[in-house]
Structure 1
């Protein structure tokens, strides 16, 4: 079994299309199909179910996919280990970053410091719901991810470090019945309130729903918004109310809108870095060392 066979296999698995996979791998479709056939012969099972309209993984293909990703990730890490002997002058870091401002953690400064120290490392930064990024670290698709997950929400088998916490606040428009308060309980929200929520699968969504559960109330009618700043702006404009990390409301409130503290001390947004210490590449290990040296704003 050759590494190129696994790369071709994953290209087809990702695109569900032999023509596109061949283009992505810069080979002729006939050559890619031939190599996939050799791989299937070697493993003794068909890896794809092919029809005129679709290409899908078979049971054997579904079994091989995560293994192939880990194998290729291990090969890349091995190359990175060798690069480390040269002083970490080259390599890559596949990093997942939570969308929020992460409260007390200066993520932008961390990236700037890392790039200044290791300019030869290629940074590949992605943003996705925290649960997806944690799963990507498990599979080897990402080296490290900064996620909005509390320790109990981090998948088993991953190492983690809590980088910071940020209190959750309720953002209400200026004419809201609770706007004159400084502190509220989520149970105080009117039954008819419209809740503006963040994307499903995100750490923030989980933490907000957990806060409502502790208050013994349903979150209420809600709709999803992909950007946290838009959630705050919509709440300020009177579309509904929203619950966000305190750091997300700076210079965004308008029209008399207020950010109210939540009485529940457990209503906080956790930010953690997750990684797999058993397969940590030097570029990723260097990134983890940056965090303790990053100053945090008050």
Structure 2
């Protein structure tokens, strides 16, 4: 059993397609199929049930999947430990980044500073919902992740550092019944079902739903969108209303229709948190260096007030 066989196996398991797995692995489909067949021969069982329309894991495949992920994660950790002997002159950092960077800390500056110090470290950046990225850190699939989760939302077993928070605001179109107010309660919305929501599994989605619950209202889902900018644009066009971090609204509305209103929410707990999370049990040297860079940039920001 070879590590590359396990990588191909997981590519098929994740995509449920030999064609898409081959493309993602940058190999010909015939070559990938041959490697899967060799792995099946090694383990003595079929791993996939294949039809003309679908690819599914067999019982043996379901048993192997978590083991394969653990084996590959440990192999990566072993390589990272060996890279440490080279003084971080080479290696990789698997980094998760949330879309909504509501923080005074400039993550682009952090990444630039890290790269300047460690140019031999390859950065592999993943964008996904916060809950999924936190789980990937726990599973050893990511080294560190910047997520939209508050301290009470970070899974047990992960270390975390707060990077900042941003008040949530309500974005309504011109002509909305609440458009003439400066501050509102989410309970005042005439039809909370007309809510444009961020995708499920994100920290922002959890924080918005928690804010509605504190107001005694139920958050609807009129639209579910994967981009903050699109949520704000839809609200400006009268499709519905949306709740987003204030900094996101300020950036986006400079390019959207005039008359769109950004309203404060009378809930001090209605904030979007940003944290950086890691697994202290297996902190790769590159991840530790990244966390050090984050702390140094935070210190500079605090001194300069930027």
* Same fold per superposition (TM over 0.5): yes
> Is 1:291 the counterpart of 2:294 in the alignment?
yes
| Equivalent residue number for residue 14 of structure 2 | 14
How big is the shift at 1:278?
1.3
Alignment of 1:149-298 (within 5 A): 149-191=149-191, 194-220=194-220, 222-253=222-253, 254-294=257-297, 295=301
Q: Tell me the alpha carbon deviations over residues 146-186 of structure 1, each in whole angstroms, 9 at most, x when there is no partner.
A: 11112222223322222211111111223333233222111
After the TM superposition, which of the residue ranges 255-264 and 197-206 deviates more from structure 2?
A: 255-264
| Equivalent residue number for residue 125 of structure 1 | 125
> Is 1:39 the counterpart of 2:42 in the alignment?
yes
TM-score (norm 1): 0.88
Q: Tell me the alpha carbon deviations over residues 212-255 of structure 1, each in whole angstroms, 9 at most, x when there is no partner.
A: 01100122452122211222222233332211111112243341
How big is the shift at 1:95?
1.1
SS of 1:6 mapped into structure 2: helix
RMSD of aligned C-alpha atoms?
A: 2.5
| Equivalent residue number for residue 69 of structure 1 | 69
| Equivalent residue number for residue 148 of structure 2 | 148
Q: Tell me the alpha carbon deviations over residues 25-66 of structure 1, each in whole angstroms, 9 at most, x when there is no partner.
A: 74835741442133313xxx5433344554322233222212
Aligned residues of 2:145 and 2:276 also touching (Cα < 8 A):
yes
Aligned residues of 1:8 and 1:36 also touching (Cα < 8 A):
no
Cα distance in 2 between the residues matched to 1:292 and 1:15: 37
- Structure 1: give runs of 5+ residues left out of the alignment: none
Distance 1:29 1:148, change over 3 A: closer
Aligned residues of 2:104 and 2:164 also touching (Cα < 8 A):
yes
Distance 1:251 1:15, change over 3 A: closer
Cα distance in 2 between the residues matched to 1:247 and 1:39: 54
Cα distance in 1 between the residues matched to 2:19 and 2:260: 53
Cα distance in 2 between the residues matched to 1:192 and 1:8: 45
After the TM superposition, which of the residue ranges 81-90 and 45-54 deviates more from structure 2?
A: 45-54
SS of 2:214 mapped into structure 1: helix
SS of 1:289 mapped into structure 2: helix
TM-score (norm 2): 0.86
Aligned residues of 2:170 and 2:241 also touching (Cα < 8 A):
yes
SS of 2:252 mapped into structure 1: coil
